[in-house]
Amino acid sequence: MKRNAFRMLAVLGLVAMSANRGVAQEFEEETVRLSSQVLKEIMAIPVKGIPESLLADAQGIAIVPAMIKGGFIVGAQHGHGVVLSRDDAGNWKAPTFVTVTGGSVGWQAGVQSTDLILVFRNKRGVEGLLRGKVKFGVDASVAAGPVGRQASAATDTQLKAEILSWSRSRGLFAGVSIDGGVVQVDRRSNGNYYAVKPGDVPGIPQSAFQLMEQVRAFSGPLPKGNPAIAPSPFGGNDAEALRKNLAETSRRMQGLLDETWQKHLALPADIYDASAPASRDVLAQCVTRYRTVAGDARYQKLAERPEFQETYSLLIRYQAASAQPATANPGSIPLPPPPP
């Protein structure tokens, strides 16, 4: 733990003394990497980690690795980390860099550094942070978070708190109370980390993708609002009605895409002209392509569009409806096809 803390301070010193953007990017990369490592190690033992039920309902999570105790280096930040938040569809967005300064974080005697994790339980707290900063106890209520199976025994204070907090020092992971202090967006680090160097392709760095996938894995396989399970705006499960609506929404979505994407997300021709039902294999391949796009953070802008979500939802329902027999006796028991 101390080794990581002093390594973070060393890199921080290099950033402060250097105008070289590449050096700064190394600092941000290290922060993301350490954040990923901290979360992985803490969640490796379920009975001692953050209850996954809390992560499943969380609207945001902040990870501050190797937070430094005291001000033994003049001007040093107390902590530097990242916060991830959910979009309106429930997907995790790319990390935003933050700093934590001031206040008491329940330090153990003699400990010089600790890992800090904050879980935001509603949108108000995390949105307040992303707009600039949040002061603990003033802008948002904070309580020590439960560990492992303790989630079922949460106190009234924990249930009402907007933010739950944990720390890890000397290998001990536990809920921790935070008195005072401020967590705020680090705009300089965001600029450094997401800057596009000559020859680079614009986008989200690989280290950010890895952390996003890690948070996604611990918070559940299907985010809230996933189009595959969201209620469809269209009623009924009649295959023909679904086909017509699917064709309509697909055409609207295709108008948003370039030629390459139009081909990638194209539906079988039979969806548009109803000459014959599409084969199950073809429909399954289409569903797989849509599911891959919906689950990949690189395509978040597309996956968030209502045209894509409606098309994806209708495609899932049409696939299910097409698998049913075309005709059936009104009183018959609904069953899958007989075994071969």
Dihedral of alpha carbons 130, 132, 134, 138, sign: negative
Q: What is the pLDDT of residue 136?
A: 85
Distance CA 189, CA 26 (A): 10
What is the tens place of the pLDDT at every residue in 8-37? 444 444 444 334 445 557 889 999 999 999
What is the tens place of the pLDDT at every residue in 229-264? 333 333 334 678 778 888 888 998 999 999 999 999
What is the tens place of the pLDDT at every residue in 37-70? 999 998 887 777 888 888 888 999 999 998 876 5
On the CB side of 146, how many CA atoms lie within 13 Å of its CA? 19
Q: Is 299 exposed, middle or buried (0-12, 13-18, 19+ CB in 10 A)?
A: middle
Look-up of token digits 């401020």 = 182
First to last CA, the chain: 59
Q: How confident is the model at residue 2 (pLDDT cuts 50, 70, 90)?
A: very low
Strand 182-185 to strand 133-135: parallel, antiparallel, or no bridges (unpaired)? antiparallel
> 174 and 165 in contact (C-beta within 8 Å)?
no
| Stronger pLDDT, 274 or 71, i.e. the higher one | 274
Distance CA 77, CA 65 (A): 12
Crossing angle for the helix pair 306-322 and 280-294, nearest 10 degrees? 150
Crossing angle for the helix pair 2-17 and 21-43, nearest 10 degrees? 160
Distance CA 314, CA 227 (A): 9
What are the boundaries of each domain within the chain?
2-219, 239-322
Q: What is the pLDDT of residue 65?
A: 92
pLDDT at 98 over 90: yes
- Write the single-letter amino acid at 102: G
Per-position DSSP letters for 227-292, written without gaps between them: TTTSPPSS----HHHHHHHHHHHHHHHHTTS-HHHHHHTPPPHHHHH-SSPPPHHHHHHHHHHHHH
pLDDT at 304 over 70: yes
| Stronger pLDDT, 289 or 332, i.e. the higher one | 289
pLDDT at 271 over 80: yes
- Percent of the chain exceeding pLDDT 70 equals 69
pTM of model > 0.85: no
Q: What is the pLDDT of residue 11?
A: 43
pLDDT at 144 over 50: yes
Q: What is the pLDDT of residue 220?
A: 64
Look-up of token digits 């599911």 = 291
Q: How confident is the model at residue 268 (pLDDT cuts 50, 70, 90)?
A: confident
| Stronger pLDDT, 310 or 35, i.e. the higher one | 35
Q: What is the pLDDT of residue 324?
A: 52
How many residues does this entry show for the chain?
Answer: 340
Distance CA 310, CA 222 (A): 17
Give the E-state strand segments of 294-335 in sequence order. Answer: none
Q: What is the pLDDT of residue 29?
A: 92
pLDDT at 133 over 60: yes
Arithmetic mean of pLDDT over the chain: 75
Distance CA 195, CA 15 (A): 16
Q: In whole angstroms, how large is the CA radius of gyration of the chain? A: 24
